[in-house]
Amino acid sequence: MIYDRNNLPEELLNLPASDFEALYQEDIKDEKFQTKPVGFFKDAAIRLTKSKVSIIAFIIIGIIIILAVVVPPLSPYGFNDQNISAKYLPPKMPIVEKLGIMDGTRVLKNRKVSGLSDTDRYPEGSIIEYFNVVTAKGQEMCDVRVDAYMLAGMPDGEYHWFGTDYLGRDLLTRLFKGARISLLIAFFSVLTNVFIGVVYGAISGYYGGKVDIILTHFAEVLDGMPYIVVTILFMILFGSGMVSIILALTITGWIGTSRLIRAQFYRFKGREYVLAARTLGVPDRTLIFRHILPNCVGPLITRAMIAIPGAIFSESFLAYLGLGIKPPNPSIGVLLSDGQSVLLQYPYQTVFPAILISVLMIAFNLFSNGLRDALDPTKRGEE
């Protein structure tokens, strides 16, 4: 007999529970999850730590940052302590000096042999050896290896690990003070770029339509301006200094980020979950920042990391053009360009900043490559 579902007779609606019997007695033996769920960032972290290169790069970056923080206050010399009698001292480092490098000696070329015994010019013990003796115009000439520290009358136990510059300033202190300033410029300019890029890209991508067309065209025109030209013009306009460097690096720097964010917003704003949230009356602000923006975090981090070495490069580039940080503050670029002008006479002044910036750039590039692979959702779970 067929009952109407909406009009069941009274006796069928009030059947006692005891009349029923379970067909299967045993429990359902579904296993409980033994592992914790692996989220996107956890997965990325796992993959990042698996890449040895990224770890090493990260450690190097960490060491340089720590040195940049620790060295200037711990050093016995201030970054701007001038000592004219100690100018152009070659590097001298304890322990390493016994190996014959960085021992504070320098070769003076074409000196009169007869003048070597003059203790006014060459204090006792400052001459280590002389060689290449030639006779020219009746004068015996030679090359002398001297202890530059003794020659300059430095007290014993005075060590400038990386030497001194034309004002007798300690280059070790200056280098890490400079690294600190360069890194600060890089971090702040990237931070500003990301902030502007996110806001601009989010507005452009979320609202679409006319707003998007106008904003995109504006960015496109701005993007056509060669980065070097804009930066130089702004530096001239604002004068040198840390804030103006950061500003100058921001003028066109944010466009890449905004483009990325805009594309992500176009991808996600039509998704069902966003529509559902909107139907529930979630305001635009929350939709943008809470619901759509988190999808962009991965590429955003990668982009920011890649931009950091670029900013460090730009800073030193500007320093070469004479538009760097205001003296007496050092930056890696300022030290490099100062060193470049005396490269052939005092190569050590270029060597250390050059090594530092190279290592820093390579480490940042390797780390951001690792980060990009780790945050790439298409490679997820490959390991």
Partner 1 sequence: MFKYILSRIGAMLLTLFLIMSLSFMVVRLMPMSLFENPETDPEIQRKLEDKYHLNDTIPVQYFYFMKDIITDLNFGISVKIRPGLDVFGILVSRLPPTILINFISLFISIPLGLIFGTIAALNRNTWIDHVISVLVIIFISVPSFIFGSVLQYTLTFALPIFPTLYDSQAVTFAQKMHSLCLPIVALSLNPTATITRYLRGELIENISSEYLLLARTKGLTKAQAIVRHAFRNSLIPISNTLIGMITGIMGGSLVIEKMFAIPGEGGLLVKSIFAGDHFLTVAVLIFYSAVSLVTILIVDLSYGIIDPRVRVGGGKA
Q: Which residue shows structure tokens 């013009």?
A: 233
Stretch that binds partner 1, among 6-14, 87-95, 259-267, 363-371 (CB under 8 A): 363-371
Q: Which of 305, 357, 371, 375 binds partner 1 (CB under 8 A)?
A: 357
Interface with partner 1: number of residues (CB under 8 A): 38
**Which C-beta is closer to partner 1: that of 63 or that of 343?**
343
For position 107 contacting partner 1 by CB under 8 A, the verdict is: no
Q: Which of 71, 260, 336, 374 binds partner 1 (CB under 8 A)?
A: 336
Q: Which residue shows structure tokens 């490679």?
A: 379
Helix (H) or strand (E) holding 178: helix 171-207
In the bound complex, what is the minimum distance in angstroms from residue 192's beta carbon to partner 1?
19
For position 132 contacting partner 1 by CB under 8 A, the verdict is: no
Return the structure tokens found at 361: 């750039």
In the bound complex, what is the minimum distance in angstroms from residue 63's beta carbon to partner 1?
17
For position 226 contacting partner 1 by CB under 8 A, the verdict is: yes
In the bound complex, what is the minimum distance in angstroms from residue 254's beta carbon to partner 1?
16
Dihedral pair phi/psi, residue 282, rounded to 5°? -70, 130
In the bound complex, what is the minimum distance in angstroms from residue 42's beta carbon to partner 1?
27
- 3-state helix, strand, coil split of the chain in percent (to 5) is 60, 10, 30
Displacement of CA 342 from its chain's centroid (Å): 28
**Which C-beta is closer to partner 1: that of 328 or that of 347?**
347
**Which C-beta is closer to partner 1: that of 228 or that of 243?**
228
Stretch that binds partner 1, among 109-117, 202-210, 290-298, 336-344 (CB under 8 A): 336-344
What's the number of CA atoms in the CB half-sphere (13 Å) around residue 229? 5
In the bound complex, what is the minimum distance in angstroms from residue 44's beta carbon to partner 1?
21
Rounded CA separation 178/80 (Å): 12
CA distances from 239 to 225, 234, 292, 329, 357 (A): 20, 8, 40, 15, 24
For position 323 contacting partner 1 by CB under 8 A, the verdict is: yes
Stretch that binds partner 1, among 65-73, 159-167, 168-176, 232-240 (CB under 8 A): 232-240
Rounded CA separation 108/116 (Å): 11
DSSP state of 90: P
Rounded CA separation 219/267 (Å): 20
Stretch that binds partner 1, among 14-22, 40-48, 156-164, 315-323 (CB under 8 A): 315-323
CA distances from 182 to 175, 242, 303, 304, 382 (A): 10, 9, 19, 16, 37
Contact residues toward partner 1 (CB under 8 A) are: 217, 220-222, 224-230, 232-233, 236-237, 309, 313, 316-317, 320-323, 336, 339-340, 343-344, 347, 350, 354, 357-358, 361-362, 364-366
